[in-house]
A = this chain, B = another copy of it.
Amino acid sequence: MDYVEIDCAKIDTGRLKRKGYSEVVYCECKTTEQLIEIFKTFKNNNQNALGTRASIEQFKALKKELPEIKYNSEARTLSLIQKPIAKTGEIAICCAGTGDIPIALEAKETAEFFGSNVKCYFDIGIAGIHRLIDKIEEIKCANVIIALAGMEGALPSVIAGMVDIPVIAVPTSIGYGSSFKGITALFAMLNSCAEGITVVNIDNGFGAGYSANQINCLIAKGKNR
C-alpha cells in the first residue's frame, strides 16, 4: 500500500515514488503526540523527513524520542536525515530586508533537503538599488531565483527585469498598517510589470524552496533523471 495509517493521519510513504519527493510535515497545527507518531513512521520506513513551522517545544519533545532529529531555529525546520542527500545545480535566494531572513532560510532548508545547492543574498532591497546591481551578475548564474520581500514587495519585479531565468516571488508578512501582513506584497508580486515571475503564498518559504528545487533539478539533470 502507498500509505501508512496511523491514528491521526495517513502517512503518504508512496509519495517518494509517485512524486519523486517525500511528504513534508506542516507542524504548526499538530500536537506533539501526533508529530512523534508521524516522524517515527518515517523513521520506520527509512525515509528522510522534513518538518516546517516547528516550535522549539515541539523539537525538544521529538528529540527525546528521536535523538537524531535536527532543528534550525531561525528557519523553524525539523529534519530527519537517514540517507545522504546529493546536491545539484544552484538556486539564488534574494531577500529585500533583514526581517525576511527566517522565511529565506525556510526556503533554503527545503531546497537543500530535496537536493539543490543554494546561495543567499541578504538585504538587497530597492531602497538602495546599487546593492542589488552589485550582485546581479552573480545571481544570474543560478538556474532559478527565489526573491523575498515584505512591505511594497518590489524586489522580485526589479530582479526579473534584469535576468532571463525564472523568479519565484515570496511575499513576507514584514510591514505594518496597510501592508496587511503581506497581502500588499502578495498582490504587488502578482501584478508585476516584469515577466518571468510566479508567486507563492505569504511567508511560504517552503513552497518556494520546493518549486525552485523541482525546476533546478530538472534543469541540472534533465527530465528523465
Contacts and interface: CB of A to CB of B under 8 A. Distances in A.
Interface stretch (A56-64, A79-87, A91-99): A91-99
A130 B194 contact: no
A125 B219 CA distance: 30
Interface of A: 2-3, 8-10, 12, 14-15, 18-21, 23-24, 26, 28-30, 34, 53, 96-99, 101, 122-131, 143, 149, 151-154, 157-158, 160-166, 168, 171, 173-204, 206-208, 210-211, 214-215, 218-219, 222-223
Given A9-B98, A15-B128, A131-B12, A198 B200 contact: yes
Copies of this chain in its oligomeric complex: 8
B157 A127 contact: yes
A177 B184 contact: no
A88 to B, nearest CB: 12
A149 to B, nearest CB: 8
B178 A126 contact: no
A94 to B, nearest CB: 12
A222 to B, nearest CB: 7
A190 B214 contact: no
Residue of A30, A98, A191, A202 contacting most chain B CB atoms (<10 Å): A191
B211 A219 contact: no
